[in-house]
Structure formats: C-alpha cells, structure tokens
C-alpha cells in the first residue's frame, strides 16, 4: 500500500490504515525534529567555537566543537526525558497538560 492509497474525504480509514498513517506521521515528526536539533546544534557550536573561519579547523576549534556538541546533546536528552516523564505523569493522573 502506498501513502496515497488512503480513502478520500467521504470514506473512513480502516484501523490498519490509521495505524500506518500515524506511524508515518510519527516518523516524519521524528526526522524533522532530528534535523532541527542538528541545525541548531551546528549553528550554536560553530558561533561559539569558530572565531576565524578558514579551510580547516585547528585543534582548539575541533575540541571546542566536540565538547559543545556533547553538552548540547546531553542537555537535549535530559530535557526530552524530563518532558516525556512529565507528560506521562500528567496523562496518568488524568489532568490535562498546559
């Protein structure tokens, strides 16, 4: 089944079609999120570590970039886990997230 085999507006999706569509949307959101993360991380770390752009990076710039990207990823992972835990906790308690 291709991504264009879904019913038109007057028809209803089968359970399998809904599941497949939901999975495709989740994958697209995850990809867009990863691309945004890489772009932001690259921009921020480049601005922080590369003072005089040239044809190559010196050792100090390479070390700074590696450390910056590691810290950025660690922070992003911590925030993601905390946010997910909060959503699960609030969903489990029956309250709405605001």
User: Which tens digit of pLDDT belongs to each residue from 24-76?
Assistant: 999 999 999 889 999 999 999 999 999 888 899 999 999 999 999 999 999 99
Which pLDDT does position 13 carry in this prediction? 83
Which pLDDT does position 2 carry in this prediction? 52
Q: Which helix (H) or strand (E) holds 17?
A: helix 15-49
Domain annotation covers residue 4:
no
Residue at token pair 């399998």? 16
Give the Cα separation of 97 and 47 in Å (integer): 35
- Phi/psi region, residue 6 (left: phi>0; alpha: psi -120 to 50; beta: rest), is beta
The total number of structural domains in the chain stands at 1
Can you give the CATH number for the domain in which 47 is found?
Answer: 1.10.287.810
Domain annotation covers residue 37:
yes
Domain annotation covers residue 98:
no
Q: Which domain holds residue 35?
A: 16-93
User: Please, are residues 38 and 10 in contact by the beta-carbon 8 Å criterion?
Assistant: no
Which pLDDT does position 10 carry in this prediction? 59
Which pLDDT does position 4 carry in this prediction? 54
Q: What is the pTM assigned to this prediction?
A: 0.62
């Amino acid at each position: 089944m291709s991504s264009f085999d879904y019913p038109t507006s007057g028809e209803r999706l089968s359970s399998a079609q809904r599941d497949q569509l939901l999975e495709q949307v989740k994958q697209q959101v995850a990809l867009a999120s990863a691309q945004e993360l890489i772009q932001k991380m690259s921009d921020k770390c480049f601005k922080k570590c590369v003072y005089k752009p040239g044809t190559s990076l010196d050792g100090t710039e390479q070390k700074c970039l590696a450390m910056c990207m590691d810290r950025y990823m660690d922070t992003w992972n911590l925030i993601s886990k905390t946010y997910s835990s909060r959503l699960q906790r609030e969903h489990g308690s029956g309250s709405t997230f605001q």
